Structure 1
């Protein structure tokens, strides 16, 4: 089996691809005109003669008059990754204007949820760390500046959520969209978060979240006490607030890395065999116990919309055993034995990487990242120049055009 070289983009990348795309074809057979509108008004006794005798406004296209390009523009573009949309701006002036429209950015942010790749950093290299982006499909997903040089200082990436990144500078936090290179600097928090803060970015684009509000949740140990406190930033008010909630039931208050957010809850891995959960809306903490045999071989991840903890072990040669624990009780749902990578007579250390909006399990072993798709029972592998090791961080990313709203003066 051949393993394609991973599509890394670095400081010398060409940015967005300027090649004009091929216009979509083959949609006509799948599209049928739906008759509705003025005719339906007659059922309710409305007088519609006046409406039928006047032309539609020029900016409104009647359903029966729509062309394929109009259907594609309205019903296909919102589901495409950001890089693909940038390429489609070359189709016409009309498409260029539509793709630059804030409305499409909003629609795309909650319509396109496909897993696009990983941002990779070596967290042990302090502020000289190299930032890379590993694209799972370079032709459709990518960012123009994966090193994040558009930010005012070198940063560490702490959390990723729905196309936005939370980064830490020497003193400040930044939230940015690497696809649009838009960014905002957050005000200083009230509490001391530590040198390696456990923070989670919470962003849920939806029809109702037009302003694209987001939160940052920091879980921090109280000095000299086995207690975890919480401080929450809201982009709507542009302020930090200390939660009245505390967690006192945790075995080891030392948290590991950034947080993982999904469905209204922020999750943090700990030095013990536990996961700290925090409901952002009602501000209630909880403890999730992991099975004793899991240790720290796995990772929190999202599979088919549910929280999972996936652990993997290289049993022998290129045979890996994958255990999938699911739900708040972390019950073992599935165990899979799968062959990953080329034949060999020795075992290798491996690390499970988090995924989002996918049914795949990602395992980093040696010079490869293997993706095992549960439903299809299929394996895809890519070569990675970002080697395994302590302190290496892989953050899942979705290629989004989500816009950052203007922040109020704190």
Structure 2
């Protein structure tokens, strides 16, 4: 038999070109789409993968490639932060109780993997942290008094073209005269700034833990409907509604309510309209079929 004509074992030889090409394809095109818990395991495959995963550019690329929801942070009955994973075998964080922070904290808001927590001592500082790698930053003291349960909203929209991944923290707070002011912390400036926009309404109160950011506008449920604050124009609007929960679907603000034991979902179709304009423009449109709860 002529052994010189035998085809080489390309799939079994680790030095073959096919093996090297496949290894590079997985490293460059598959790893960025894995979640953090899986990446920690993949870091032990080889030295090249460990170096690739540890770079800042890879972390930036992974944050823009993997956008699935892995779980939810919540406050336990004992008052400690906790993480509820949608799949404990695949999703998780190293320290669900956030004990890597300087003090016990309360979780206030989150956005695309970042958490905003508030301390329980001193002036109750805000902390912005990444629970996946336990990195955190304490923000400077705000100028205004945000109260014991602030309606703060974290705005973090990572972009593949924005390597610095800046974020903002928006908090409405009532002043001594009763009107609402808006204070914004910007990570690129590293400081707070109070907007010149003031909302006068003695009968309105913005509800904590209801804020949602959609396309440059922050929305809150209030005692009079839905209040918005545009981060670019810094204009405040009020949308009349009797809805109960806010969220985002396909880049649009959505709200849900329960009527006659049925869950109904609406979408904001005209974000430029508000209660002061009596134009015959439909603000909310019902989407999705009604869901019977019983």
TM-score category, normalised to shorter length? 0.7 to 0.9
Quick one: structure 1 residues 131 and 313, their matched pair in 2 at CA, closer, same or farther if it must change by over 3 Å? farther
Report if aligned partners of 2:109, 2:209 keep a CA contact under 8 Å in 1.
no
User: Aligned with 2:182: secondary structure?
Assistant: strand
Does 2:226 match 1:275? yes
Q: Which runs of 4+ in 1 moved over 3 A?
A: 63-66, 312-315
Report if aligned partners of 2:80, 2:106 keep a CA contact under 8 Å in 1.
no
Does 2:47 match 1:101? no
Where in structure 2 are the equivalents of 1:277-356 lying within 5 Å? Answer: 277-290=228-241, 292=242, 294=243, 298-312=244-258, 315=261, 321-327=262-268, 328=271, 329-338=283-292
**Counterpart selection for 1:187 from 104, 128, 140:** 140
Range that drifts further, 322-331 or 191-200: 322-331
Q: Distance in 1 between matches of 2:265 and 2:214?
A: 18
Q: Distance in 2 between matches of 1:250 and 1:72?
A: 59
The equivalent residue for 1:245 is: 197
Deviation of 1:86 after TM superposition, in Å, equals 1.3
User: Aligned with 1:257: secondary structure?
Assistant: coil
TM-score, normalisation: structure 1: 0.60
Deviation of 1:120 after TM superposition, in Å, equals 1.2
Tell me how large the CA RMSD over aligned residues is.
2.3
Quick one: structure 1 residues 137 and 152, their matched pair in 2 at CA, closer, same or farther if it must change by over 3 Å? same
The equivalent residue for 1:3 is: none
User: Aligned with 1:160: secondary structure?
Assistant: strand
Deviations 1:127-180 (A, max 9, x none): x50222111122222101111111110111111001000001132000000010
5+ residue gaps, structure 1, are 1-27, 29-62, 316-320, 340-346, 348-410
The equivalent residue for 2:159 is: 206
Report if aligned partners of 1:177, 1:183 keep a CA contact under 8 Å in 2.
yes
Q: Distance in 1 between matches of 2:34 and 2:238?
A: 37
Deviations 1:310-340 (A, max 9, x none): 224683xxxxx2201101422222332356x
Deviations 1:8-38 (A, max 9, x none): xxxxxxxxxxxxxxxxxxxx9xxxxxxxxxx
Aligned residues: 263
Deviations 1:263-322 (A, max 9, x none): 2121212233x11111112212222222x4x4xxx311122222111224683xxxxx22
TM-score, normalisation: structure 2: 0.82
Question: Which of structures 1 and 2 has the larger relative contact order (alpha carbons within 8 angstroms, sep 6+)?
Answer: 1
The equivalent residue for 1:16 is: none
Q: Distance in 2 between matches of 1:244 and 1:326?
A: 29
The equivalent residue for 1:389 is: none
Report if aligned partners of 1:158, 1:258 keep a CA contact under 8 Å in 2.
no
